[in-house]
């Protein structure tokens, strides 16, 4: 047994220094944000095969390629699986592909699903069925990047950190994705 002057709240022999939480970075890095949630009934999401079929059918439609993004969450990142999503920041962008019946059908399904919801926030999102419900601050971060880079978003690097992993891992899985990727709500992202 040893007699000590002080036992701090961390149960060590040391002065009482407390670490407090903060929502602001102490190192001037951008904050890590929750990924984007479509709340779409699966209608925004495309498998590799579905994407390829659509691209083959509309191979001359450049806007389709512009608004189809990689979609990655914890599962896709950890298992290296490919999924894709439609990503629009406004109605004008959606209108560029509104001549593709398969997309109009999917957006119609999103609208129906949202308007039939009991949750008032989901019903409200039915007014803009072409947008993700929660966009994980992606749009604001991309706008800030564009302002600093003369309107260009090429070169944006996002850091993805899955929200769910295994306690058996020796490390926390993290990685880099580019500007053509939407990080899902099953992961966090740094832009």
Lowest-pLDDT choice from 5-19, 53-67, 137-151: 137-151
Report pTM. 0.81
Residue 29 has pLDDT above 80, yes or no: no
How high is the mean pLDDT of the chain? 89
What is the rounded distance in angstroms from the CA atom of residue 123 to the CA atom of residue 101? 24
pLDDT of residue 116: 96
When comparing pLDDT for 47 and 145, which is higher?
47
For residue 165, the tally of other CB atoms under 10 A from its CB is: 15
pLDDT of residue 102: 97
Residues ≥6 apart with Cβ < 8 Å to 64: 54, 55, 58, 97, 100, 103
The pLDDT confidence band at residue 80, using thresholds 50, 70 and 90, is very high
Residue 10 has pLDDT above 80, yes or no: yes
């Amino acid at each position: 047994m040893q007699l000590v002057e002080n036992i701090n709240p961390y149960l060590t022999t040391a002065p009482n220094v407390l670490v407090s939480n903060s929502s602001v970075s102490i190192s001037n890095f951008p904050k890590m944000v929750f990924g984007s949630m479509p709340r779409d009934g699966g209608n925004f999401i495309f498998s590799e095969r579905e994407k390829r079929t659509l691209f083959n059918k509309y191979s001359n439609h450049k806007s389709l390629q512009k608004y189809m993004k990689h979609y990655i969450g914890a599962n896709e990142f950890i298992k290296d699986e490919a999924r894709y999503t439609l990503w629009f920041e406004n109605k004008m962008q959606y209108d560029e592909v509104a001549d593709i019946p398969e997309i109009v059908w999917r957006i119609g399904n999103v609208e129906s699903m949202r308007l039939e919801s009991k949750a008032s926030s989901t019903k409200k999102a039915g007014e803009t069925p072409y947008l993700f419900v929660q966009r994980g601050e992606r749009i604001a971060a991309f706008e800030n990047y564009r302002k600093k880079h003369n309107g260009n978003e090429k070169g944006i690097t996002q850091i993805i950190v899955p929200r769910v992993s295994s306690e058996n891992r020796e490390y926390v899985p993290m990685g880099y994705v580019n500007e053509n990727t939407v990080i899902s709500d099953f992961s966090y992202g740094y832009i």
